[in-house]
Structure 1
Amino acid sequence: MNKVVVGLSGGVDSSVAAAVLHHQGYKVEGLTLWLMKGKGQCCSEGMVDAAKICEQLEIPYHIVDSRDLFQENIVDYLVSGYEQGITPLPCSQCNRAVKFAPMLQYAQKELGIDKIATGHYARIRYDKASDRYQLLRAVDRHKDQSYFLYDLTQELLAGTIFPLGNTTKNETRRIAAEFNLSTANKPESQDLCLVESHGSMRDFLDKYINRQEGDVVDLEGNILGKHQGIHHYTIGQRKGLGIAAAQPLYVVKLDAVMNRVIVGDRTSGSCSECTVKRINWVSIAQPKTPIRASVQVRYRSKPVGVNVIPLEDSRIRLVFDEPQFGITPGQAAVWYDDDVLLAGGIIEKE
């Protein structure tokens, strides 16, 4: 009998993933990583719901205390980034370093099981020609989460199953109702786990970073107002600037050295290219010459055509077919060939 360990957050997606695999004949065991205390999925509340699902499916349930790992790899990583005036993307970092790798290691070493599964909306396939596992968008484009999974290694892709990759969210809800799962009507998680737990990203960051008043300036250096800490702002932000102007102004740069928030119009906040570091080549080997692709510079941004140009130091220069607004250092740029995720990395500061 095939065996699999399913990562359970306490939400409907992971619950359905476990139920579907169980129904297909897998010997399923549930696993929740305890990442932090408080509200939200993956926390105290989520573990209770995950335990109920395992009880309902009559499968073993395991909890692994990963709070120290989460603190080091996510909380400290976020705080350090915001202090430097960048806006880190925690989810991709969390998926590789905190969730998938530790889950697979625990499954193999502690339970003797070689496969893990999650409720992510993405697909995996093996390509014989290249001898690589490829990561693909989910069938449901509105729920596709491949963007956050770009940093998964070949080893992790080989050991992972995404049961919901060919399923729409509506179908997932329907399946949950058919199995009469206790999470069938649980509301969708709307924010990062840290935001759910602390109320807002600002509240979370204020616990770790002292507020330091500074200037809000335009591109010429004229002082337009004051801010209470650059960690309260992100590139492309329009609301909450606290200044009046004849035209809409956006955050175009964060100057950590001078403790300044720099604002400008939408045009000044657009870029025709950027450089990307810490590249993970997923579905293809690293090319030596430029390639064409479509890129997303944020999870919800529209894919745009791009020239992907390898640099000598393993970084990449992305040259967009049309200027992109709000290119944010610390966020991920992920490029695709149609549904196939080719690679991704972290956007650098200028």
Structure 2
Amino acid sequence: MNKVVVGLSGGVDSSVAAATLHHQGYEVVGLTLWLMKGKGQCCSEGMVDAASICEQLGVPHHIVDSRDVFQTNIVDYLVAGYESGITPLPCSQCNKAVKFGPMLRYAREELGIDRIATGHYARISYDAETGLYQLRRAVDSSKDQSYFLYDLTQDLLSGTMFPLGEMLKTETRRIAAEFNLTTADKPESMDLCLVEANGSMQAFLDKFIPQKEGDIVDQSGKVLGQHTGIHHYTIGQRKGLGIAAAEPLYVVALDAVRNRVIVGDRASTHKPECTAARLNWVSIPEPTSPIRAEVQVRYRSKAEPVSVIPLEDSRIKLVFDEPQFGITPGQAAVLYDGDIVLGGGIIERFE
């Protein structure tokens, strides 16, 4: 019988992934990573719901204490990033370093099982011509999570299944109801796990970063107001600036050295190009010459046409066909060819 370890967060998506595979005849083993204490699907509450699903399906449930790994790779990473004036993206980092890598290693080494599955909305295919696995967008474009998975390796793709990749979210809910899963009516998780657990990203960061007042200035350096810490702001932000102006103002840059938040009009937030580092070419070999692609510079943004120019040290320059709003250092730039994720990296700076 085929065996698979299913990562269970306690939410409806991972529950349906486990139930679907179990219904298809797989020998399912549930695995929950204990990432932190508190509310939310990745916390204590999620573990209880995950255990309930495994009991309902009649399958084993394992819990792995991953709090130290989460602290180092996510909490410390986030705090250091915000202190330096960037806006880190924790989810792709968490998927590779905290979730998929450790889960597949645990499955192989502790359970003797060579495949894992999760409730992510994405797809994996195999290209016989190149001998590479390909990460693809989910069928349900409104739920597609491939943006957060660009950092996965070929080894991880080869050992991973996404049972929900071909489903619409409405089908997931329907299946949960049909199987009478205890999580069928559980509300959707709308925020980062750290936001769910702490109420807001600001509340989370304020636990680690002392508030340090500084100036909010325009692009000429004129002081317009005061801020309570640059970690409370992100590029492209308009609301909550606390300053009055004749036209709407947006955060256009964060100056950590001088502890300043720099604002300007909307036009000044549009940038024609940027550079990215820490590249992972998930579905193709690393390009050695310029290529054309589409790029998403944030999760909910539309993929836009771009020229990708390889630089030294495996970095890239992205030259957009049209200037893009709110390019934010620390966020991911993920490259696509249709529904195939070519790769991605972390935005360093904009031009």
**Same fold (TM > 0.5):** yes
Query: Separation in 1 of the partners of 2:214 and 2:265?
Result: 20
Letter in structure 1 aligned against 2:190? Q
The aligned residue for residue 149 of structure 2 is 149
**Residue of structure 2 equivalent to 1:136:** 136
Q: Which residue of 1 aligns with 2:191?
A: 191
**Partner in structure 2 of residue 106 of structure 1:** 106
Offset from partner CA, 1:241-281 (integer Å, 9 cap, x none)? 00000000000000000000000001111100000000000
Query: 1:349: how far off?
Result: 2.7
CA distance in 2, matches of 1:287, 1:7: 33
Residues 127-186 of structure 1 deviation map (CA, whole Å, 9 limit, x = unaligned): 110010000000000000000000000000000000000000000000000100000010
* Equivalences for residues 83-232 of structure 1 within 5 A: 83-232=83-232
Question: Aligned partners of 1:272 and 1:309: how far apart in 2?
Answer: 14
Which residue does the alignment assign to 1:63?
Answer: 63
Aligned to 1:292, the other structure's residue is in SS state: strand
| Deviations, residues 212-249 of structure 1 (Å, cap 9, x unaligned) | 00000000000000000000000000000000000000
Correspondences of 1:286-305 after superposition (within 5 Å) = 286-305=286-305
Distance (whole Å) between structure 2 residues aligned to residue 47 and residue 6 of structure 1: 13
* 1:46-100 C-alpha deviation (Å, 9 max, x unpaired): 0000000000000000000000000000000000000000000000000000000
Establish whether residue 320 from structure 1 lines up as the match of residue 298 from structure 2: no
What is the TM-score normalised by the length of structure 1? 1.00
Match of 2:346 in 1: 346
Q: Where does residue 264 of structure 2 map in the other structure?
A: 264
The equivalent of 2:35 in structure 1 is 35
Identity %: 77
1:21 and 1:252 map into 2 onto residues whose CA distance is: 47
Q: Secondary structure at the match of 2:306?
A: strand
Task: Show CA shifts across 1:95-144 (max 9, x none).
Answer: 00000000000000000000000000000011110010000000000000
Superposed CA RMSD in Å reads 0.5
Runs of 5+ unmatched residues, structure 2: none
Contact 2:276 2:349 in 1 (8 A): no
1:312 Cα deviation after fit: 2.3
Q: Distance in 1 between matches of 2:79 and 2:349?
A: 17
Q: Retained in 1: the 8 A contact 2:254–2:261?
A: yes
Q: State the distance in 2 between where 1:70 and 1:279 align.
A: 22
Inter-partner Cα distance in structure 1 for 2:112 and 2:188: 33
Deviations 1:309-339 (A, max 9, x none): 1112210000001000100000000010000
SS at match of 2:349: coil
Instruction: Give 1:7's aligned residue.
Output: 7
For the residue of structure 1 that corresponds to 2:313, the secondary structure is: coil
> Using the alignment, how far apart are the partners of 1:155 and 1:266 within structure 2?
43
Q: Deviations over 1:169-210 (max 9, x none)?
A: 000000000100000010000100000000100000000000
For the residues of structure 2 that align with 1:346 and 1:109, how far apart are their CA atoms? Answer: 31
Gaps of 5+ in 1: none
Between the aligned partners of 2:237 and 2:72, the Cα distance in structure 1 is: 28
Letter of the 1:247 partner, please give it. E
SS in 2 for 1:86: coil
Give the drift of 1:42: 1.4
1:251 maps to which residue?
Answer: 251
Displacement over 3 Å in runs of 4+: none
- Counterpart of 2:187, as a letter, is P
Secondary structure of 1:33 counterpart: strand
Decide whether the 8 Å contact of 2:295 with 2:336 is kept in 1. Answer: yes
Q: Give TM-score, length-normalised by structure 2.
A: 0.99
Distance 1:93 1:42 in 2: 15
Q: Does structure 1 conserve the Cα–Cα contact (< 8 Å) formed by 2:133 and 2:154? A: yes
